[in-house]
Structures are given as structure tokens and as C-alpha cells.
Structure 1
């Protein structure tokens, strides 16, 4: 009988707790959806400041404005964390042409981030088309030397979660130009990493091998890539050439900052839950989805807590990381300082997959049993909001270094619907008008709910 009463007591305790959590989550969502400020904050960031590539005037303005925004919300702490960042500039608009005998066909291109420029007159050369680094290696120097390598591996549409397609195709952009340089290529043109067929070239960073030769590298739009590939198939190779010109360069590193706001924990002020995105963006547009939505959702979590009167047990930080796009220096600095200060971090959440409809969260590097326990505790609470996919997966680029310095931390990625993100990602089309207000606010509510649950019950 005593055992039965104990079990009954536990059942009612758990049921009551879940009811309290459910009510609190509803309260957080209501604040996000009725009184949310992340959409208007994003409007200001995009329209009044615009692109924010590390080292630029836009990045500098965004840091000053972000700190001021956090100050107006009255968080317990607001501060800047100094970090040295790369300063790459695009220069004059790039030019690209397919040359077919005496015919020149203009095509949309964009220099890859951290690429070197071409000579002032540009580069004209025959083309070698490849669809993978393995194919490049098979051809070798005898075929590639003096040519422009055209990396035309398509985005695989079979992946339902499009981030997997991006990862698979992305190796061409990250490593392709440096690999082509090893075989004597004069330059590299890379198919934009997107499932969309359009004339927006997608920029993004490339990484040169340490001590290796650097060649100019540019992205080409998917429609132009298809045109070039078809022309190469129809004509003899020597007849088709490619010309491109770009004036990008890397200047000396400059001082910038991560922007950090904190609500101090009422019971455990030295234990931290971080939620963040990256403040910098590529220079082709406004950086709306990548990653204006992420930083605005992050600060919205703290604003929601303040507005609803929720006082977290643990300290909660909103972190606007600088330099995710072309160096990751902000994430490295945040982890370095956390380790130096011997901070105890429970979890870090990153939102850097756009401001689309929330589907759930991914948890990096935790045992299957722990993930099951998280689902058992939390998935039913997220189900009414259709954000209950709690799965294994990546946390994010900026929070990744925390795992190296604080092994016990749990890294979490916010996972919105992925179908449209890579149509916009790194393009001139990444503008405020392509963000949906309700989707953005639903994401802020979901992240606030998860931070609340972790704060109350842990992982």
C-alpha cells in the first residue's frame, strides 16, 4: 500500500510539473506572438545598417546598435567582447563571360569570400569541368595546368533536410579552389550551392591550404552553370573559354566585438545557458536570414523572460557572434574567454538556419539514451507548437568551440524548416522582405521555451 501511494504521489507531482511547464511555455509563446519585437528589430538591422561583413563599416555600426538595443532592455549585464577579425573586401563588381569564338555571353558571378583577385585585365582560359574533388584528382596537372577549373557538382535534391545537401556539395567551394591550384589551375569557378535554378550567384568562404598557391575563385549562378556545361558538351573543348575579373583583396585584421547580454541566474549565477547567432553577414545583401533572424531571436529570448517576469535559476546569455562567415573568430574568442574564466556552461543554442517555421532542435554529441530522455521529458510540451523534432545533429559553427574547452556542455541547433533557406543563403536575395513575421516569432517562442525547460529541469 505504501509503495502504491508513493507511486501515486510521484505521478501527481510529475503531472502537476508538466502542467506548470505547459502554462509557462504558453505564456512565453504568447509574448513572442502578441508583443514580439524581433521582427521590427530585424527591420532596423537590415534596412538601416544592411550588410555586415567583418571589418566593414556595417559591422562596426551593427555592434554599436546591438549593444544599445540590449541596454534599452535593461538586462543585468551588457558588454562587448573584443576579437580580432579578418577584413576581406570585394571591390568593384565582378565580371564573367563565356567566350564562344567571337561571341561573349555575360554570366552572373560573385567572388568567393577570402578569394584573391584576378590581374587587372582579368583571366581568360580554357575550361575543365569537374563534378567532384575526386574527379579533379583523377585528371591531374597534365589536364588542369593553365586552365580555369569549373566545379559543377550539383546540390543533391534527394536530401530532405537541405543542410545535408549543402554539406555534400559545399566541399567544392570550401576546398576546390585550393585543390585546383595544386595542379596549376589559373582560376576556379564554382557552381552555387543551392537546389534553386536562378541567376543569383551564391558567395561564401573558400579556404586556401596553408602555404599553398592562391588562385582567384568565384561562384557562378546555377542557370549560368547549366548553360556553360551544356555549351562544353556541344562544342569542342578548346573553342569554349571563360573570362572573369574580380578585384577583391584581404586587408590587415581589424578589431571588432561579440555583443553579449545577460540575465543573471537567481540561484546559480555562475552557471550559463547561451543562445546566439552571428551578427556579421556577407556583403551582397542585408543578411536577413543569415543571420539577422538568429541574433534577433536570441535577444528576444531574454526580452521575453524580462517581460513575462520569469527569473531564470541559471544565467542566460544572448550572444551576437562576430565573424562566423569568414573566420569564426567570434566563436573561438567566446569559448576561449569562457575557459579562462572557468565558467560552467550547461548548454549553448545556436540559431543560424534562417527564420523559417520552427520544427525542433538538434543535439550534438550526446548519447542515444540521453537524447531519448530529452524526448521523454520535452517533446510532448513542444508538440502543440509543431516544434517537437528533438533529434541528433549539429549544434552550430559559433558554439562548436565550446565543446573543446567545456566537454560537459550540450550543444543545440535550432532547426526551422529547411526547404527555402539555401535558395536565399549567401545571395543578393537575403533581404528583410523575405522574412515572414509569424515564422520568425514562432522560432523565438520555441527557443525561449527550450531555454526555460533547460533552466528548470536540465538535460
Structure 2
């Protein structure tokens, strides 16, 4: 009897060791697609909690919920990392209209940009000057801008296939438009939404006043793409068109929040860390399902998929749900600072912050040697239609962890529809496809498995 048990044990060991990387990936993908948790986690995060603006009650609820769910996985350690975050509130719903003549008005859709001050009580009404760049603003000068509302109307470049490049090409007008316009005496700023689709939904996002004193700050709001086109068309016919808007947004004192962290401790190299994460905060107009609820639940799912697939990590695998990516990056900065103080060696960090759409592959910030190793794994992902392996960016939250020797990466889903939802009221749970979300989680878990097994190229 003992001999039979010994033979069975040897067979089991040989069978387990004979399991190929392709077999492990197949198990991970099958588990995610047939027995996944990511979609139900996202359902709760989106529909039971909702938008998770940094410093808000909903952000606090999200911290509690994700911590509890990670603890249910039975991983080695779960904890909260305190971080002070900004607290900005939108206030009452914004209101705006275009006035083309006495008593002739057209209501338009706007939303305050994150960090903007309120308009004066009763709102602002003024003539409008339309520009498409900071250079146009400078060329007009104070004599043509003072006392007016500046309308930044540079659209995302439609012929760029990489939509994040299109976003990057026009986001400065949102982020620093009010700062620049205020130097020329503008009384307010309206910015075309960062959106490739023509619709009626304004898209918020962060903006800055730099070091401007409070007395010189001007209110800033986004206008929907349809209404931006309307305003531009009316200005082309009549330069005396006026614009009115009212918002009650306010910046409050910083409050304490948390990064949520969970860990499976490595069996061979516990002091080498592999991180996977997304940001727990979101804007408040929708429920933050794509940005970045999807990244949060996919990152949590990585740990669950590894456990369910029987993977025993050599290195310590951490999930980090960062707080305050949208308007400050405080969580990422705090995590990196603490990791540096403790001398923690993060050899690989993977972020998901591009929506829950069909995964296409990954981008890598790393040496040529490590990228060449990654390319040898590409054929393992091809059965799952994951073909995009490129050197490039990673993600905002993992960026502070960069060293000369480690690897940072970002999941790259199909981005063509991402900016239809980004920072808008349309970013809701119903916009996320269950299968696409689960494919992304499996792709992330598979890449983490390979980096854990093979480590870095020295």
C-alpha cells in the first residue's frame, strides 16, 4: 500500500512539473472566463457604491469593501496604507446657456473641472473668445481677452489610431487653460470635452491653478462636444454672442484616505515584489466603471486567479489599489516613498488604467534585454489574440516605482471607445462587457505568472 501511495505521489509531482507555461495560461484564462469574480466585484463597486471622488464618503466605502473582499481570498496579508488626499466637491448641478440676443438663449451641457473654483454668486455672463491653442491665446493678448470667457476648442485628433495620443495632444487646454487665460484677464474658461464622439455629455478631469493666489483664479468648466460645435458655429456668425455659466464647486481641506494592499508572500524570493494595481478613486459624474473600477477588480482578480490555478508564487505578489490618481497621485507617491524607505525591491509592476475593453496586449517600460525576454512569451498569448507587445509607457500609479533595472508595464485594451466614457456620466457599469473584463484579468494574471517564474534579465 505504501508503495502504491509513493508511486502516485511521484506521478503527481512529475505531472505537475511537466505542466507547461501554455497549460498554466490556459488554466488561468479558463478560470477567469468560467469562474471569474471581477464582474461581480465591479457590479458592487459601481452600483452599490458609485462614483468615488477622492476624499468622499464613497471613496471610504470603496476602501472598506475592497479590503473585505481581499481578506475573503485567504491571501497572506491585507492592510491599509494611510495617505492624505485632496477633497474637492462639485456642489449643485452646473448650468449654462449661450445668449445670441436679448431673451434668446440656448441651454448647453457643462460640468466643472476637478479643482475649479465656483463662479461668483449668480454666475458669470460675458463675451466669448474662441482659441484652439495656447499660442492663439498669446497672440490675442490681454487687449482681446480681458473681461471675456476663453473657449478652448481644440478637438482630439481623429486620425490618430492610438487614442491616448489624441488625448495627450489636447489635454493641456483642460489642465492649464484657466491658469494661462487668467494671466490675460479672462473671467472664466470653457473647454471642449476630451471625447472623440459627438454627444451631449461633458467630461470632467483635473485642472491646475499652479501658484496663482485665490484672488486671481477663474472658474473652469468642460462643455460637451455637441455644444462646443454649437458655440463655435454661433461665434462664427456673431462675435458678440455671450456665454453664461454657474457652478458652486469648492476645494476643502485635505482628508485621510488609504491605499488598499493585499499580498501573497513568495516561497523562494519573498523580498522581491511583483505589483499589480489600479486606482480606487474616480470622478463623480458616473460610477467609475471603466476608469478605473475595471483596473481595480482586474488587479484583485490576478491574486485570486493565481490561487485558483494552483500557482505558488516564488516572489511576493502584491495588489495595490491606489487612492487619488485622478487629482493628485497622492496614493502612488505615498506607496513609492514607503517602499523606498523600506528598501523594497519591486522588480515588476503592472497597471490597468485604460478601461475594461478587449485586451490587445501590453506596453513595457524596461531595458532592451528584459523586453527581448518578454517577446519570447508573445506566442503564449497569441491563442488569446494578445499581440500588442511594445516598449512605451506603463501607468501613472506605477511610474514612481521606476528604477534603472526594473520593469513597468500597462495593460493595453482596445482604446477606440475609451474616451466616449472617460470622466463622463456615461462611465457606468452597463458600459463594461463581462467577457472583455475577464479576458483582461486573465491576461494580467498570465503576465504576472511569467515574470514571477522567470524574474528579470540581469
Q: TM class, shorter-chain normalised? A: over 0.9
What is the aligned partner in structure 2 of residue 220 from structure 1? 223
Quick one: distance in 1 between partners of 2:46 and 2:416? 23
What is the aligned partner in structure 1 of residue 399 from structure 2? 400
Residue 263 of structure 1 and its aligned partner are, at CA, apart by 0.5
What is the aligned partner in structure 2 of residue 129 from structure 1? 130
Residue 19 of structure 1 and its aligned partner are, at CA, apart by 7.1
After superposition, where does 1:131-280 map in structure 2 within 5 Å?
A: 131-211=132-212, 213-235=216-238, 237-238=239-240, 240-280=241-281
Give the alignment partner of residue 425 of structure 1, picking from 415, 422, 425: 422
Query: Structure 2: any 5+ residue segments left out of the alignment?
Result: 1-15
What is the aligned partner in structure 2 of residue 53 from structure 1? 53
Where 1:320 maps in the other structure, the secondary structure is strand
What is the aligned partner in structure 1 of residue 96 from structure 2? 96
Quick one: distance in 2 between partners of 1:155 and 1:18? 51
Q: How many residues are paired up?
A: 438
Where 1:105 maps in the other structure, the secondary structure is strand
**Alpha carbons of structure 1 residues 319 and 39: separation in structure 2 relative to 1, 3 Å:** same
CA contact (8 A) 2:98 2:244 kept: yes
After superposition, where does 1:311-390 map in structure 2 within 5 Å?
A: 311-364=312-365, 366-375=366-375, 377-390=376-389
CA contact (8 A) 2:367 2:405 kept: no
CA contact (8 A) 2:370 2:407 kept: no
Quick one: distance in 1 between partners of 2:378 and 2:400? 28
What is the aligned partner in structure 2 of residue 438 from structure 1? 435
Where 1:169 maps in the other structure, the secondary structure is coil
Alignment deviations for residues 337-378 of structure 1 (CA, whole Å, 9 cap, x no partner): 1001100011110100000000000012x3445423421x11
Where 1:61 maps in the other structure, the secondary structure is helix
Quick one: distance in 2 between partners of 1:372 and 1:150? 47
Alignment deviations for residues 417-459 of structure 1 (CA, whole Å, 9 cap, x no partner): 0001000110101000010000000000000000000011124
What is the aligned partner in structure 2 of residue 78 from structure 1? 78
Residue 399 of structure 1 and its aligned partner are, at CA, apart by 0.8
Quick one: distance in 2 between partners of 1:279 and 1:18? 39
Residue 104 of structure 1 and its aligned partner are, at CA, apart by 1.2
Q: With structure 1 as the length reference, what TM-score do the two structures score?
A: 0.94
Residue 141 of structure 1 and its aligned partner are, at CA, apart by 1.1
**Alpha carbons of structure 1 residues 452 and 430: separation in structure 2 relative to 1, 3 Å:** same
Alignment deviations for residues 191-221 of structure 1 (CA, whole Å, 9 cap, x no partner): 0001100000000000112235321000000
What is the aligned partner in structure 2 of residue 13 from structure 1? none
What is the aligned partner in structure 2 of residue 287 from structure 1? 288
Which moves more between the two structures, 297-306 or 202-211? 202-211
What is the aligned partner in structure 1 of residue 9 from structure 2? none
Q: With structure 2 as the length reference, what TM-score do the two structures score?
A: 0.94
Query: Structure 1: any 5+ residue segments left out of the alignment?
Result: 1-15
Alignment deviations for residues 383-415 of structure 1 (CA, whole Å, 9 cap, x no partner): 111112110121111111112xx4432110100
Residue 182 of structure 1 and its aligned partner are, at CA, apart by 1.2
What RMSD over aligned residues (CA atoms) do the two structures have, in Å?
Answer: 1.4
Where 1:274 maps in the other structure, the secondary structure is strand
CA contact (8 A) 2:179 2:212 kept: no
Matched, 1:452 2:458: no
CA contact (8 A) 2:24 2:309 kept: no
